[in-house]
Amino acid sequence: MCNTAQAHEVLDPYLTGAGGQTSPYATAGAYFAYGLIHANQHTQETTNFYMEGYRNSGQNEAIQHGLSLGLGLVGMATKDAAVYDHLKNTLFNNADSAIIGEAAAFGMGLTMAGSGDETAIEEMISHAADSNHEKIIRALGISLALIMYGKEQQADGLIEQMCNSKDSTIRYGAMFTIGCAYAGTASSSAIRRLLKFAVSDTSDDVKRAALMNIGFLNFRDHKQLPVIVKHLAVSYNPHLRYGAALALGIGCAGTGS
């Protein structure tokens, strides 16, 4: 298990190309790994490390993907404006790249996790409406969910807006926004809303996401999960069976049930 003190020693060959490690995918993975090692340990040093990485990336899509995910992990839940703005500009300046844009969008959500920041929400909603890339729209939807982590009723307005979208990818994000906003609460109204989308939405992706997120709602009351999902767990629709299985896996994780 690598600790933070060993991070540079372990990852430098992939970052510098020493020992024949010259693949941009290896470099991207190293930046992502550095972010995992330093998750939520934001310092000026780690920020400078990533800024230098962006300058040296040569606009390579794979490397910028790893940089953006890594920077988001380092800045996770810090609400750091400089980190968020850099990731936002990376997204806006690479509107034609789904690879870079997807990672930058995830990074934005990670940085603002649990903040409920209205400006960030407006920027993400606006960019999702303007984007033609499904990957970017999905990443923005998940990031909106992260921003609303633990916000419960404060998230209801955004949830309603996302649920009413004609874009199924935004509705997919709405299911995760419900799951994040009401995580661990076993809210009956949130469960009813998710079940409604699980059986009535026109998109299998949305149906699957709706059931999965019931697991997030009930992880503190996992004994109720089999009762809630048992009928959909035997559905003819494989996406519903998948969602029911994931709900049980998420909600019962670590319980030995």
239 versus 23: the higher-pLDDT residue is: 239
Q: Mean pLDDT throughout 43-51? A: 92
The mean pLDDT value of the chain amounts to 93
Whether 78 and 108 have beta carbons less than 8 Å apart is answered as no
Structure tokens at 66: 């790893």
Q: What is the pLDDT of residues 96-135, one digit of tens each?
A: 899 999 999 999 999 999 999 999 999 999 999 999 999 9
Cα separation, 108 vs 71, in Å, equals 9
With CA atoms as reference, report the closest residue to 72 among 88, 52, 59, 61: 88
Residue 64 in this model has a pLDDT that exceeds 60:
yes
pLDDT tens for each residue of 185-218: 999 999 999 999 999 999 999 999 999 999 999 9
Q: Mean pLDDT: which of 53-57, 84-88, 232-236 is highest?
A: 84-88
Let me know: does 164 contact 174? Beta carbons within 8 Å: no
User: At 144, which amino acid appears?
Assistant: L
* Cα–Cα separations (whole angstroms), residue 24 to 28, 30, 107, 135: 6, 10, 20, 21
Query: If we measure between CA atoms, which residue out of 173, 184, 177 comes closest to residue 134?
Result: 173
DSSP, residue by residue, 160-204: HHHHT-S-HHHHHHHHHHHHHHTTTT--HHHHHHHHHHHHH-S-H
User: Within 13 Å of residue 255, how many CA atoms lie on the same side as its CB?
Assistant: 15
pLDDT tens for 12-21 read: 888 877 666 6
* Range with the poorest average pLDDT among 57-61, 154-158, 212-216: 57-61
Q: What's the confidence (pLDDT) of residue 95? A: 85
pTM above 0.85, yes or no: yes
Please name the residues in contact with 143: beta carbons below 8 A apart, sequence gap of 6 or more.
Answer: 105, 106, 108, 109, 110, 112, 124
| Per-residue model confidence (pLDDT) at position 15 | 85
Q: Rounded distance, CA 29 to CA 23, Å? A: 10
DSSP 95-112: TT-HHHHHHHHHHHHHHT
pLDDT reported for residue 16: 79
Tell me what pLDDT residue 1 has. Answer: 46
pLDDT of residue 40: 86
Q: Once rounded to an integer, what is the mean pLDDT over residues 63-76? A: 97
pLDDT at 221: 87
Domain extent listing, the chain: 4-147
Is residue 248 within 8 Å of residue 229, measured between CB atoms? yes
